[in-house]
Amino acid sequence: MPVEHNQPLKKLNTFGMDVSARFLARIRNQEELSGLLASSIYRDNHHLVLGGGSNILFTGDFDGLVIHMDARGMEVVGETSHQVFLKVQAGEPWDPLVAFCVDRGWGGLENLSLIPGQAGSSPVQNIGAYGAELKDCFHSLEALEKDNGKMREFSREECQFKYRDSYFKQEGRDRFIIMSVTFCLNKAAGPNTRYGNLDEELESMGCRRPGIAHVREAVCRIRRRKLPDPQLLGNAGSFFKNPVVGHGTYSKLKERFPGMVAYPGAGQVKLAAGWLIEQAGWKGVRQGEAGVHSEQALVLVNHGNASGAGILQLAREIMQSVEHKYGIRLEPEVLIV
């Protein structure tokens, strides 16, 4: 299969980092991937599997092999009176997939509208937004094991989904390459509008009995107001995870900072990282071409020609500042390479 040499990656990462890969292979099916894994270029170089590049920060050129997953296709593989099982190839762009499902009245993905990236990378960090997570409508996935070239199917339980985490971000990170994902979608279930801002947006739209199309529209409106379009301003969405603490820690923090934004859950409390960063004085800050978005402090941006090292340095300063003020250590959500 063709492998390209010294290829630019600027269009393959949403931060728009102007870096290149020593080798680049664009994979469209299992046969091509199996052939690549049997090649000397794969054996002789360290490698990186890249989807839409929406959750990665390159700090320099990649002196190895980038495997870009570009397999396309969607197929209904099962159906009941209430559910549809949709198998999606790893290279399918995420938001067009969401639109495809909503247009057919299949619920489950609408709260995840406008998230950049591809279907194959969505289970890796269990993407989530506006009161929903990928695991809520996940059925199974197929992944190829690198060592032996065999395909394996993973159930929801085997993926070990957690908050912005999964088996494929931990033990399985260097063992498997995801080839397809199958979603379990609802034909008639009511939409999820629990997220506060979502309720407010739907009310402003005059939706008293919202359907999944209304929820998608509301999510898109909110995201377009708060989050920059990567095509116009380089970014990888939320740069940091929302930290999770125990109720005891949260109570002490709430006493010191009464306005703290948090989301209590069973046994733990999720703190709003964006609020922490904003209150620490970072919202809208710019250091050269690297900066913090003026509307959402959780998003770091490339104002044009920022380097990955510059973005990373800014992130580290933010982490130190938040830890100094709140005693909370932020954890990057993006992969730093």
Distances (CA, A) of 147 to 37, 65, 169: 9, 16, 18
Residues sharing a CB contact under 8 Å with residue 154, sequence separation 6 or more, in sequence order:
140, 141, 142, 143, 167
Tokens 């929820």 belong to residue: 215
- 105, 54, 227, 189 alpha-carbon torsion, rounded to 10°: 20
- The residue annotated as part of the active site, out of 113, 166, 238, 307, is 238
SS3 label, residue 125 = coil
Q: Is 262 left (phi over 0), alpha (psi -120 to 50) or beta?
A: beta
Residues sharing a CB contact under 8 Å with residue 274, sequence separation 6 or more, in sequence order:
238, 296, 297, 298
C-alpha 202/C-alpha 210 separation (Å) is: 7
To the query of whether residue 164 is one of the catalytic residues in this protein, the response is yes
SS3 label, residue 47 = strand
Please name the residue ranges forming H helices in the chain.
30-37, 40-43, 94-103, 196-204, 212-226, 247-256, 273-279, 308-326
HEC profile of 130-142: CCEEHHHHEEEEE
Tokens 């099962």 belong to residue: 78
User: Closest Cα partner for 186 from 263, 107, 256?
Assistant: 107
Residues sharing a CB contact under 8 Å with residue 297, sequence separation 6 or more, in sequence order:
274, 275, 277, 278, 282, 283
CA 257 to chain centre: 30
To the query of whether residue 278 is one of the catalytic residues in this protein, the response is no
- The residue annotated as part of the active site, out of 26, 164, 216, 223, is 164
H or E stretch at 4: strand 4-8
Catalytic sites, residue numbers: 164, 238, 333
